[in-house]
Amino acid sequence: MQVTSHVREPLVTGGKTYHDVTEDVCRQVEGAPSTLWKFCFGFSLIIFGVGCFSLFKTWTVGLGVWGLNKTVGWAWDITNFVWWVGIGHAGTLISAVLLLFRQKWRTSINRAAEAMTIFAVFCAGSFILMHMGRTWLANWALPLPNTYGSLWVNFNSPLVWDVFAISTYLSVSMVFWYIGLIPDLATIRDRAKEGSISKMMYGAFSLGWVGSSKDWSRYETVSLVLAGLSTPLVLSVHTIVSMDFATSVIPGWHTTIFPPYFVAGAIFSGFAMVLTLMLITRKVYNLQDYITIAHVESMNKIITLTGSIVGVAYITEFFIAYYSGVEYESYCFYNRMTGPYWWAYWSMMTCNVISPQLFWFKSVRTNLTATFILSIIVNIGMWFERFVIIVSSLHRDYLPSSWRDFYPTIYDIGDYIFSFGLFFVCFFLFAKFLPVVNMAEVKSVLKSSSERKVKHNN
Amino acid sequence: MSGSSKKYWKGIEELENHPEFVKNANKEFQEYLPILNKNEETGATHRRDFLKILGFGVAAVSLAACEAPVKKAIPYAIKPEEVDPGIANWYASTFVDGADYVSVLVKTREGRPIKIEGNKFSSVTKGATSVKAQGSVLSLYDENRLRKPQKQGKDTDWKSVDADLIAALNEASSKGGKIRLVTPSIASPSTQAVINEFVGKYNAKHIVYDSISYAGIVKANQKSFGKAAIPSYDFSKASVIVSIGADFLSTWLMSGQYAKQYAATRKLNKKNKVMSRHYQFETTLSLTGANADFRTPVKPSQLGLVATTLYKLLGGNIDAPSLELPSLKKAAAELLENKGKSLVVSGSNDPEVQVVVNAINAALGNYGTTIDLNATNNLIQGNDSDFNAFVDELKAGEIEAALFYDVNPVYNNSRSADIKEGIKKTPLTVAFAYSKDETSSEVKYILAENHYLENWNDYQPIDGFYSIQQPTITNIFDTRQFQETLLTLVGKEPDYYAYIRENWSTTLFGKQSTYLTFDDFWNRSVHNGVFEVAGASIGGSFDFVGDVAAASAAIASTYKIKSDKVELAIYVKAGLGDGSQANNPWLQELPDPITKATWDNYITIAPSDAKKLGITNVQGNTVYGNLKVGSKTAKLPILIQPGQALGTYGIALGYGRTVAGKVAMERNEKRGVGINAFEFTSLVNGTVSYSVAEVVLEKTDELRQIAHTQIHQTIMGRNIVQDTTLEKYKKIENVREHDENYQKTIVTSEGVQKAGELSLWSRADWKSKYNNHFWGMVIDLNSCIGCSACVVSCNSENNVPVVGRDEVSNARDMHWLRIDRYYSSIEDGKAHEDRDKKLMEEPADNPQVVFQPMMCQHCNNAPCETVCPVLATTHSSEGLNQMTYNRCVGTRYCANNCPYKVRRFNWFAYVENENFDYNMNNSLGKMVLNPDVTVRARGVMEKCSMCVQRIQEGKLAAKRESRRPVDGEIETACSQSCPTEAITFGDMNDPESRISKLIEEEKEGRMFQVLEEINTRPSLYYLSKVRNI
């Protein structure tokens, strides 16, 4: 019997040649910044400035500028932290896990996704620092040798695990991203005018890459090793973040389902965020041939899968709350649905469980507008998920005498805006000064053997 | 060796006493050392020293460049003999504020009074303290107090004031003008003697004015027994207590003493399963009503009839309509069974009602057992009609000189406008005042008065019981106590101390036989703070000679069985009282024991009345209402108060100050918080009435958030407080076992197990790690009446910051110790699974109330300790959960993970911050801080430390004497100040300690722990509340 494999759809459309790829990607880096970029970057800077003012107030006046109280000790700060960490996950998943699974389609999106990961972790980290009452002593959370005698951190505390998890994650992601950038930086270096500043800068950062077989061989090896290192991180980082809650005694937090549920949620929101950004970049930088509908569709499938996992987790939590017979636990979930924060709960349910199910329809998951809107809805939903977990569990825990609602203040909002400012300033700088698509890897998936297309002029 | 003639030598050189040896004998280093700057012989600097000198020079110059911060601490030039830095001195003294009398011990550190405790030598108060007494130490450091005498608003000096006053008084008295001295009731024999001298010299008249009037009782006793006085009560001997509107546990007369007596009748253990039964008939839910076994809401217009109906039910033959109240019938039947062991009290200020109450007590034979009219209560002697006559004179401009001492009638009298007008017409007006208030700001001379902690004085609160007030600090400012001013004015040596001694030597020295010399007697009395004449409480019955028929006829005409009108009841709050301490931030921030509201004045309204008006209270958010009382309108926020009688509203006194310190003022406004409810009191038949027969409340749309520390009212069917009934308790030993609600068991593979015994960690011997001390606490919920004295005591001991109205609204109160108050829900009678969770949030219309003091539970499996990333909160080797402020980075994870929510975060800097302009923002107010307790910085977590500084102090004291600390030697601030001894603190490793014995005894009895099933293993235990129903 003869089996005929079906002809694979090309990953890059438009019959691009190697040279086309180089041109298409390098154009953004080498050319003068476009008006649109200037506008977007300027806007980001304004947001960043507003956020910085808010952050300045938070740090100089005290955390009392937020809406927290004696009962609800975490709200937007940790919601934002978990949300940003979750968003970051997609980048690692795409670059590491998909690399190991030889998913070639990832090549055109992994660069931007990884950049997003790093910036998202920056934002998450900013909330770690922000939420501390005495940020200036943040180094005490690190196990550094000191003169206080044998005073170490508390290795029992999930917050210390967090410090390790996030810092490891950030460093591995940065190295992975940077290693991936080296061949592309070298390409830009080679194209740069002799003696120009960019030649010098790109030259320095490309670490003397010459493109020899040895270089490529090492590049591939390091990529594989880092992919192997990163893969467990995809699972571990959010597992540990979830332990901030799961190891506590607070009803609604004290849940063993949290690690897988959080990881799924993180990938879910991360993919949504990648989509949001990629759809914009693709449009702005005219990269439709590299980031194709097939990419969007694959990602939408993953969103549907992870969204469904998250949905099942929600229902499981509910069932266990009922089945356990623990009155605090069951009240907690009853209160989520019907209490003062019912709207947050139902927003979460609508955005996270119902909306991704629309991707079962091929017409929806291949529709760019629908995808864009849904990707934003999913991110809103995932923000609410963390808000619901944190605030609705805390505000009514064991002793009714301490029950208290939380209302955000302008500084809660301002500090959230700060993180957006930080993220977009970084992202736009990245989009201008670094190649947003991994040229080297995309070239490896170009269909080059036959049907050579007439060369374009640009 | 001194007696010996032997001599020892260090060496042969010394023996020989060689000249070389003699030359160097005094030098430790005989050779030249290059450390010295100069070569001894040449005087030049050695070259080898160049680098050293250079180094020193650089270091010295750079050190000198760093400006040393200027510290205000001034060392003693000559150390006073009795002051040891770091060691507290205790002085006995006396706190009196209206009817609130407490014999106190004042803790002073380095000359500063910083804490008030109860004096156990007093058999009147027996070591109990009250909220106001605890807070009084802060008033000493009130930034708004007068610093100098003032003449027409300008600072002056005592010499010229004295000269002015003597001239003016002589002139007034020589032309026969009326001179009036208005004071509160004077319970001090020596002060009374001084006043008498003044009255005699200037032919003046002494008017007694009590801001909160009890004239009804005084008059009724005059009518009933021919003795115009207030008796002393002994609740401890009463098996049945009926209170008709008297809040005797919190604000009525000597409530501190009564609370202690009352709690004594409610102490239960396995051997003693007897407790008193308490009936309360009242309008607004009071602290006393909250503790009652049977509480019946009645309108103020029915209160008189409660008394007459009870009298009729007891067999009295009078003609008055009867109220059909089942609880009244039950009460009557039980009173009859407990003749001579019962007590009926009434908070009414209507003499007719009090006459009927007297008749009831006389009929029950309570005089001589629970009521002692021989030992009169001297704290209240006011007679409203005298003062009223004075106001008439004042208004008419007939008075030549009016002197006001420690009274503020322009604020706290219904005829405030008349008084104000009269003062303007009076040629000489003088106020002896502590700070500028409504009255003193109207007069010509303000004589800056001492704080009581700067005073010498004596008191006789109850006949035969004397108490001494001694200064614990020299006058901080240029102030002078009233008695010395009067002595100056009568031309005597202004030495009141000598005067008291003289007075005591003539009147009291002879009443004892223990001491042979007066000095011994005096010194002992000052040391103890009290002197009690042997056999002072005489008891003895009195013949009731009152006219009950006339009284009940009068009651029948003024009170109604049913009134369609909406009525107003004016009540007194535990913290603020008559408003004189309105500038005390501790008392302002103290949550009202019932409403849990701080910093605010409000109209209380019954839940069903609120529903009719469409008022809701969510998170303390409510609307203002316009309350029309006659021609006056009060605009106040409306607070829904379960237990409020239908068709009535309540307003507290003590608010609406117009001239007071900034603490009493509404933020950013020049008027006091709330309205002045004294305006709504009125004189009815010569006594002040604290109710209004008809008022109208109109809801407005203006919003107001009342700053509550607790907004959720019910316990949601959770077993965090165990309560049972006496009947059940009598049958079953173990409260926990008998009610399935309280059984905390878990089904495991090895069968049903107690939740508290299951653990992930195999630490069966977890107690063994505490091999020295193991501190713990037991709180008896049956004794706790919710008075909140412990809360103020804790604030004072532990430098707990005041955060103000806005921050309490934001739920950021900093109290380490709070008293959770739960109402029973309308769903509470139902089976567990039938309960509607939404309806469980609704308190019943007339709820049962339970108080639960809640502070750090010092868990031995502490959830907070495991989650702190930096080990800022750890467990001590003595079982304490301790907080290291310096290490805290402020992640707040510990607070989130605390199931008891007792951790408090420093959201802002509360010290030296203009936004928190309370006592920690000025150098005078900061003097009250306890130097043993760190003042916390912004961004750190804090919580109850179980007064670790006191534990440490006690341990060190014992160590110095090479012994173990004795049980009772170390007390926490809360346990020490509790008037009802509800809190027992001690070492659980000491088998002889009270706490060990109590735990042993109640282990299978009333003992439980809050949230035992989550296995936090607290070091705090609670004893179930038992209701006698």
Q: Render B263-316 in DSSP notation, one character per residue.
A: HHTT---SS-----EEEEEESS--HHHHH-SEEEE--GGGHHHHHHHHHHHTT-
Across residues B672-683, what is the average pLDDT?
89
Residue A342 near chain B (CB below 8 Å): no
Joined together, the tokens standing for residue B632 give: 């006056």
pLDDT given at position A458: 45
Return the residue of A nearest to B741 by Cα: A327
pLDDT given at position A33: 86
Residue A142 near chain B (CB below 8 Å): no
The alpha carbon of residue A265 is apart from the nearest alpha carbon of chain B, in Å, by 23
Asked which of A53-62, A370-379, B180-189, B837-846 is least confident by mean pLDDT, the reply is B837-846
Across residues B142-160, what is the average pLDDT?
91
Among candidate residues B707, B646, B696, the one with its CA nearest the CA of residue B674: B707
The sign of the dihedral angle between the CA atoms of B133, B135, B141, B142 is negative
The sign of the dihedral angle between the CA atoms of A34, A36, A41, A43 is positive
Checking if the pLDDT of B210 tops 60, the result is yes
pLDDT given at position B703: 92
User: For B326-369, how does the pLDDT look when each residue is reduced to its tens digit (9 = 90+)?
Assistant: 999 999 999 999 988 999 999 999 999 999 999 999 999 898 88
Is residue A13 within 8 Å of A442, Cβ to Cβ? Answer: no
Instruction: Find tokens 């968003």 and name the residue.
Output: A87
CB contact under 8 Å between B897 and A334, yes or no, is no
Average pLDDT, chain B: 88
User: For A182-206, how does the pLDDT look when each residue is reduced to its tens digit (9 = 90+)?
Assistant: 999 999 998 888 888 888 999 999 9
Better-scored residue on pLDDT, A137 or B15: A137
Could you report how far apart the first and last alpha carbons of chain B are, in Å? 81
Joined together, the tokens standing for residue B600 give: 């605010």
CA B898, CA B906: separation in Å to the nearest integer? 16
Q: Which residue in the set A134, A157, A405 is minimally distant from B866, CB to CB? A: A157
- pLDDT confidence tier of residue B667, bands split at 50, 70 and 90: confident
Mutation choice for B interface testing from A82, A399, A406, A409 by most B CBs within 10 A:
A399
Task: Tell me what ipTM this predicted complex has.
Answer: 0.92
What residues in A contact B717, CB-CB < 8 Å?
327
| pLDDT above 90 as % of chain A | 56
Question: What pTM was estimated for this model as a whole?
Answer: 0.89
Among candidate residues B939, B938, B919, the one with its CA nearest the CA of residue B929: B919
Is residue B292 within 8 Å of B279, Cβ to Cβ? Answer: yes
Is residue A415 within 8 Å of A50, Cβ to Cβ? Answer: no
CB contact under 8 Å between A62 and B906, yes or no, is yes
What residues in A contact B1012, CB-CB < 8 Å?
none
CA B278, CA B188: separation in Å to the nearest integer? 34
Checking if the pLDDT of B424 tops 80, the result is yes
Checking if the pLDDT of A229 tops 50, the result is yes
Is residue A294 within 8 Å of A105, Cβ to Cβ? Answer: yes
Is residue B663 within 8 Å of B918, Cβ to Cβ? Answer: yes
CB contact under 8 Å between B896 and A151, yes or no, is no
pLDDT given at position B737: 65
User: For A273-322, how does the pLDDT look when each residue is reduced to its tens digit (9 = 90+)?
Assistant: 888 888 888 888 777 888 888 888 988 999 999 999 999 999 999 999 88
pLDDT given at position B205: 92
Checking if the pLDDT of B30 tops 70, the result is no
Is residue B531 within 8 Å of B365, Cβ to Cβ? Answer: no
Q: Which residues are paired to B343 by β-bridges? A: B241
Residue A399 near chain B (CB below 8 Å): yes
Across residues B517-534, what is the average pLDDT?
91
Helix B189-202 and helix B496-507, axial crossing angle in degrees, nearest 10: 110
DSSP summary character for residue B433: E
Joined together, the tokens standing for residue B436 give: 């500028």
pLDDT given at position A223: 87
Look up the CATH architecture of domain B226-377.
3-Layer(aba) Sandwich (3.40)
What residues in B contact A397, CB-CB < 8 Å?
899, 901
Checking if the pLDDT of B861 tops 60, the result is yes
CA A342, CA A357: separation in Å to the nearest integer? 22
Class of domain B89-140: mainly beta
What separation in angstroms does the CA of B398 have from each of B178, B389, B425, B426, B830?
A: 7, 12, 8, 8, 68
Checking if the pLDDT of A450 tops 70, the result is no
Task: Sketch the domain layout of chain B as residue ranges.
Answer: 12-65, 89-140, 226-377, 564-708, 723-1027
CB atoms within 10 A of CB A194: 5
Indicate the CATH number for domain B564-708.
2.40.40.20
pLDDT given at position A457: 47
Mutation choice for B interface testing from A249, A250, A323, A394 by most B CBs within 10 A:
A249
- pLDDT confidence tier of residue B69, bands split at 50, 70 and 90: low
- pLDDT confidence tier of residue A82, bands split at 50, 70 and 90: very high
DSSP summary character for residue B738: H
Q: How many Cα atoms sit within 13 Å of B212 on the Cβ side?
A: 25
Mutation choice for B interface testing from A402, A406, A407, A411 by most B CBs within 10 A:
A402
The alpha carbon of residue A224 is apart from the nearest alpha carbon of chain B, in Å, by 34
What residues in A contact B901, CB-CB < 8 Å?
70-71, 397-399, 402
Joined together, the tokens standing for residue A51 give: 């956020």
Asked which of A416-420, B576-580, B645-649 is least confident by mean pLDDT, the reply is B576-580
User: For B272-288, how does the pLDDT look when each residue is reduced to its tens digit (9 = 90+)?
Assistant: 889 999 999 999 999 99
What separation in angstroms does the CA of B705 have from each of B610, B657, B666, B818?
A: 16, 20, 13, 21
Pairing of strands B687-689, B682-684: antiparallel
Residue B825 near chain A (CB below 8 Å): no
Across residues B917-943, what is the average pLDDT?
92
CA B328, CA B294: separation in Å to the nearest integer? 10
DSSP string, A215-269: HHHHHHHHHHHHHHHHHHHHHHHHHHHHHHHHTS-STTT--TTHHHHHHHHHHHH
| pLDDT above 90 as % of chain B | 60
Q: Which residue in the set B715, B837, B890 is minimally distant from A133, CB to CB? A: B890
Checking if the pLDDT of B847 tops 80, the result is yes
CB contact under 8 Å between A132 and B940, yes or no, is no
- pLDDT confidence tier of residue B188, bands split at 50, 70 and 90: very high
Residues of chain B numbered 794-823 and touching chain A (CB < 8 Å): 807, 810-813, 818, 820-822
Is A31 exposed, middle or buried, given 0-12, 13-18 or 19+ CB atoms closer than 10 A? Answer: exposed
Residues of chain B numbered 909-928 and touching chain A (CB < 8 Å): 909
CA angle B794, B800, B801 (to 5 degrees): 145
Same fold, B226-377 and B723-1027: no
Is residue B845 within 8 Å of B606, Cβ to Cβ? Answer: yes
CB contact under 8 Å between B811 and A61, yes or no, is no
What residues in B contact A157, CB-CB < 8 Å?
866-869, 893
Across residues B639-663, what is the average pLDDT?
91
Across residues A382-409, what is the average pLDDT?
93
Is B549 exposed, middle or buried, given 0-12, 13-18 or 19+ CB atoms closer than 10 A? Answer: middle
Return the residue of B nearest to A66 by Cα: B907
Checking if the pLDDT of B53 tops 90, the result is no
Across residues A259-280, what is the average pLDDT?
89
Joined together, the tokens standing for residue B860 give: 């031995």
Is residue B672 within 8 Å of B664, Cβ to Cβ? Answer: yes
E strands, B840-897, are 849-854, 873-875, 881-883
Q: Which domains does chain A show, CATH number per domain?
A: 18-137+152-445 (1.20.1630.10)
Look up the CATH architecture of domain B723-1027.
2-Layer Sandwich (3.30)
- pLDDT confidence tier of residue A28, bands split at 50, 70 and 90: confident
User: For B237-265, how does the pLDDT look when each residue is reduced to its tens digit (9 = 90+)?
Assistant: 999 999 999 999 999 989 889 999 999 99
What residues in B contact A338, CB-CB < 8 Å?
837-838
Joined together, the tokens standing for residue B667 give: 């933020």
- pLDDT confidence tier of residue A102, bands split at 50, 70 and 90: confident
Mutation choice for A interface testing from B824, B840, B870 by most A CBs within 10 A:
B870
Q: How many Cα atoms sit within 13 Å of B983 on the Cβ side?
A: 30
What separation in angstroms does the CA of B405 have from each of A310, B141, B166, B391, B483?
A: 73, 20, 17, 16, 10
What residues have CB less than 8 Å from B31, skipping those under 6 apart? none
- pLDDT confidence tier of residue B1, bands split at 50, 70 and 90: very low
CA B652, CA B910: separation in Å to the nearest integer? 29
